[in-house]
Amino acid sequence: MGILFGTDGIRARANTHPMTAEIALKTGRALAMFFNKNNRGKIIIGKDTRLSGDMFEHALAAGACSMGVDVYLAGVIPTPGIAYLARTLPDVVAGVVISASHNPFQDNGIKIFKGDGFKLDNETEALIEKIILENDQEKHAITIQETGRIFQLPHAASDYAAFIKDLVPGVDFSGIKAVIDCSNGASSQVAPALFKTMGLDVTTLFTDPDGKNINLNCGSEHIETMVEKVIETNADIGLAFDGDADRLIAVDQKGRVVTGDQIIAICAVHEKEKGNLKNNTVVTTVMSNMGLGSCLKEKGINHIMSQVGDRHVMMDMVKAGAVVGGEDSGHMIFLNHHTTGDGIISALMLLAILKGTGRSLENLAKVMTVYPQMLENIDVTSKPDISTVPEIVQVITESEKELEGRGRVLVRYSGTQSLCRVMVEAPSVEETKTHVRRIADMVKKTLGS
């Protein structure tokens, strides 16, 4: 990670560094300078439903236009929709999404895609960050006589929806009853309309964004209301997206959570049985549940573990020639369909398996045994290398010794927030709680406010 960029772009509280209008303008300039060196290309900008989205949209557009690049505004659209448009529309050099994903409305962020629809690699990110932080951008802008213009893309969201629908031509989801939680975010219009046209019996929740209610007690991080509605309506499945709809968390007909790891296991095993699991390989991160590794090993599927962050998963998928990967948090990537994680596509893949097999989600999820796992987030005032804090190292070592290979401990910082994440897996819930509490208390004592 750099000075501005975290695990997934730039992210912070809106109007605080680095998420200021000034940084957004400089980012627009930097993208134009970096990606449009030899011709007059285009930059596409989309956003989720946050109040501050308009401000950053205009700042980014102004920066890009000041360097002679035309900007096309897609409006409110899921993050993967911008990746799709970037790789399919002519002369697009970059796509930008203004979103802080699953964070509260006060936060915002800038996610960047190249013209091929893939997120930035570390080297490219570092080069762009260097340009953003330069103090002499204005001297480059002075030389531009033909500034760019701003255009609207009125059919951006519907074009993206049509692309998704075409992934499973002829599939009819009639007979499946679903509750969909759109988190008052970017999927609020796209997802319900799309699934209804595909025959799904849909009950929708949280589709009335007001700029401040995105992710507020709803979406993939807060599924309680969706669980109640699934049980109340006797639905077959519940599908919850996050604010920019690149994540999915599902629940079965009894309201029990089916995690990202479980969805990956269901899809990977299904694809292998159909002969479509390219290179017989799945890529996930070090945060994946141990039960996923056991499931894949039992099914004879190769398992590669990447750094945390869906773009790292993607990079390792490309290297390995894999087509299925993702994170337990709900980012699922189907590389034979799209260049980035996509919550709506993930839902589509899962629904297609339900329809094709006639099995319930509860039954399908049994392919993987979930090890007891707890994750606690601790607010921290600084982020020193964990290995340099002896008190934390000692308590981690003690827990690992007691687990003796029957579980694992992972302590890492959030790449987008001032948090330290303590994750423990152990044979029992009680033992898991004990180790999480011990390590979390020490993190609070040494690094907390």
Q: What is the pLDDT of residues 333-388, one digit of tens each?
A: 999 999 999 999 999 999 999 999 999 999 999 999 888 888 899 999 999 999 99
End-to-end CA distance of the chain: 23
Residue 154 corresponds to which tokens in the numbers above? Answer: 């009125």
- H helices of 199-259, in order, are 224-233
In single-letter form, the type of residue at position 236 comes to: D
For residue 145, the model assigns a pLDDT of: 80
Q: What is the pLDDT of residues 185-210, one digit of tens each?
A: 999 999 999 999 999 999 999 999 99
CB burial readout 250-268, b (16+ within 10 A) else e? bbbbebeebbbbbbbbbbb
pLDDT of residue 139 exceeding 90: no
For residue 99, the model assigns a pLDDT of: 98
> What are the residues whose beta carbons fall under 8 Å from the beta carbon of 82, sequence distance 6 or more?
44, 45, 46, 74, 95, 96, 97, 113
What's the average model confidence in pLDDT over 78-105?
97
CB burial readout 141-150, b (16+ within 10 A) else e? beeeeeebee
pLDDT confidence of 216, banded at 50, 70, 90?
very high
Least trusted range by pLDDT, from 60-64, 144-148, 249-253, 296-300: 144-148
Q: What is the pLDDT of residues 241-293, one digit of tens each?
A: 999 999 999 999 999 999 999 999 999 999 999 999 999 999 999 889 988 99
- H helices of 145-282, in order, are 156-165, 190-197, 224-233, 260-274
For residue 373, the model assigns a pLDDT of: 86
pLDDT confidence of 146, banded at 50, 70, 90?
confident
Q: Do residues 420 and 385 make contact, with C-beta atoms less than 8 angstroms apart?
A: no
φ, ψ (nearest 5 deg) of residue 45:
-125, 130
Q: How many CB atoms lie within 10 A of CB 286?
A: 13
pLDDT confidence of 43, banded at 50, 70, 90?
very high
* Chain CA centroid to CA 135, Å: 32
Active site (annotated) includes residue 188: no
Q: How many CA atoms lie within 13 A of 303 on its CB side?
A: 23
What domains are there in the chain, each with its CATH number?
A: 5-155 (3.40.120.10), 160-256 (3.40.120.10), 258-339+363-367 (3.40.120.10), 373-447 (3.30.310.50)
For residue 308, the model assigns a pLDDT of: 85
Q: DSSP secondary-structure letter at 417?
A: S
pLDDT of residue 449 exceeding 80: no
What's the average model confidence in pLDDT over 19-30?
96
pLDDT confidence of 39, banded at 50, 70, 90?
low
Q: In angstroms, rounded to a whole number, what is the distance separating the alpha carbons of residues 45 and 60?
A: 8
pLDDT of residue 142 exceeding 90: no
From the candidates 101, 188, 306, 346, give the one annotated as an active-site residue. 101
For residue 417, the model assigns a pLDDT of: 79
134 closest CA partner among 36, 39, 27: 27
Report the run of H or E that residue 205 belongs to, with start and end.
Answer: strand 201-205
Burial class (CB in 10 A: 0-12, 13-18, 19+), 90: exposed
Q: 19 pairs with which residues across the strands?
A: 16
- Return the percentage of the chain with pLDDT > 70, whole number: 98
pLDDT of residue 38 exceeding 90: no
Q: In angstroms, rounded to a whole number, what is the distance separating the alpha carbons of residues 397 and 427?
A: 18
pLDDT of residue 51 exceeding 80: yes
Q: How many CA atoms lie within 13 A of 235 on its CB side?
A: 26
Q: Do residues 203 and 226 make contact, with C-beta atoms less than 8 angstroms apart?
A: no
In single-letter form, the type of residue at position 138 comes to: E
Q: In angstroms, rounded to a whole number, what is the distance separating the alpha carbons of residues 79 and 24?
A: 17
Q: Do residues 36 and 93 make contact, with C-beta atoms less than 8 angstroms apart?
A: yes
How high does pLDDT run on average in the chain? 94
